[in-house]
Amino acid sequence: MLVDPAAYICGYGQLSALGVGFYPVHSDKSPAVQGRLDRAATIDPIKISFWVESCHHRSFAARLLRGSRLLVVDTENPFKHADRIGPDGELFLGSLLEDCQTTLPPCPFVQTASGGFHRYLVVPRGHRIRPTVTIWPGIDVLAAGSSVILPGSRTEAGEYRAVRTFDECPIPEAPRAFVSLIRKAQKATLSHSRRHSVCSDPFAEVETSDVSRRQWWLLFRNRVFRSFWRRQGKAGDATDSAYEYHLAKACFCCGLNHRQAESVVVNWRRKHALDRDLRQLRRGILPRAWSEVEPWVERWNAELAAADELRRATKTSNQILAHMSMAESPHTPALVATALGLSRECIKKSMQRLAKDGKLLRTPAGYRLP
Long-range CB pairs of 266-275, under 8 A, 24+ apart, other chains included: 266/207, 267/205, 267/206, 267/207, 268/229, 268/243, 268/244, 269/244, 270/205, 271/205, 271/229, 272/231, 274/240, 275/81, 275/83, 275/84
Q: State pLDDT tens for residues 18-32.
A: 999 999 999 988 899
Predicted confidence at residue 237, as pLDDT, reads: 61
Q: Which residues pair with 61 in a beta bridge?
A: 23, 149
Residues forming a β-bridge with 60: 24
**The three-state (H, E, C) secondary structure of 15-45, written as one string:** HHCCCEEEEEECCCCCECCCCCHHHHCECCH
Q: 73-108: per-residue pLDDT in tens?
A: 999 998 887 777 888 999 999 989 988 889 999 999
Range with the largest mean pLDDT of 191-195, 273-277, 351-355: 351-355
3-class SS letters over the chain: CCCCHHHCCCCHHHHHCCCEEEEEECCCCCECCCCCHHHHCECCHHHHHHHHHCCCCCCEEEEECCCCCEEEEEECCCCCCCCCCCCCHHHHHHHHHHHCCCCCCCCCEEECCCCCEEEEEECCCCCCCCCEEEEECCEEEECCCCEEECCCCEECCEECEEEECCCCCCCCECCHHHHHHHHHHHHHHHHHHHHHHCCCCCCCCCCCCCCCHHHHHHHHCCHHHHHHHCCCCCCCCCCHHHHHHHHHHHHHHCCCCHHHHHHHHHHHHHHCCCCCCHHHHHHHHHHHHHHHHHHHHHHHHHHHHHHHHHHHHHHHHHHHHHHHHHCCCCECHHHHHHHHCCCHHHHHHHHHHHHHCCCCEEECCEEECC
What confidence tier does 241 reach under pLDDT thresholds 50, 70, 90?
A: confident
Q: Is residue 193 predicted with pLDDT exceeding 60?
A: no
Of the two residues 104 and 276, the one the predictor is more confident about is 104
User: What is the residue extent of each domain of the chain?
Assistant: 5-190, 200-276, 317-368
pLDDT at 257 over 70: yes
The pLDDT, as a whole number, for residue 177 is: 93
pLDDT at 203: 47
The CA distance from 194 to 206, in Å, is 21
Give one word for 173, left, alpha or beta, with left for phi > 0 and alpha for psi -120 to 50: beta
- What pLDDT does 254 receive? 83
Top-confidence range, 9-18, 30-39, 129-138, 228-237: 9-18
Contact of 41 with 144, CB cutoff 8 Å: no
Amino acid occupying residue 139: I
* Entry pTM: 0.57
**Mean pLDDT computed over 245-255:** 88
pLDDT above 80 (res 236): no
Name the band, by pLDDT with cuts 50, 70 and 90, for residue 199: very low
- What is the C-alpha radius of gyration for the chain, rounded to an integer number of angstroms? 30
Residue 313 confidence (pLDDT): 65
Residue-averaged pLDDT of the chain: 86
pLDDT tier, 56 (very low <50, low <70, confident <90, very high otherwise): very high
Phi, psi of 71 (to 5 degrees): -130, 125
Considering the four listed CATH numbers 3.40.50.20, 1.10.10.10, 1.10.3210.10, 3.40.640.10, the one that applies to the domain covering 317-368 is 1.10.10.10
pLDDT at 198: 44
Residue 350's nearest CA partner among 321, 370, 307, 322 is 321
- For residue 158, the cross-strand partners are 155
pLDDT band at 36 (very low <50, low <70, confident <90, very high): confident
Distance from C-alpha of 234 to C-alpha of 319, rounded to nearest angstrom: 53
Percent of the chain with pLDDT over 70: 92
How much is the pLDDT for 315?
A: 76
Least confident of 47-56, 63-72, 206-215, 259-268: 206-215
Task: Report the sign of the C-alpha dihedral through residues 236, 240, 243, 245, in that order.
Answer: negative
The closest of 198, 276, 200, 207 to 242, measured between CA atoms, is: 276
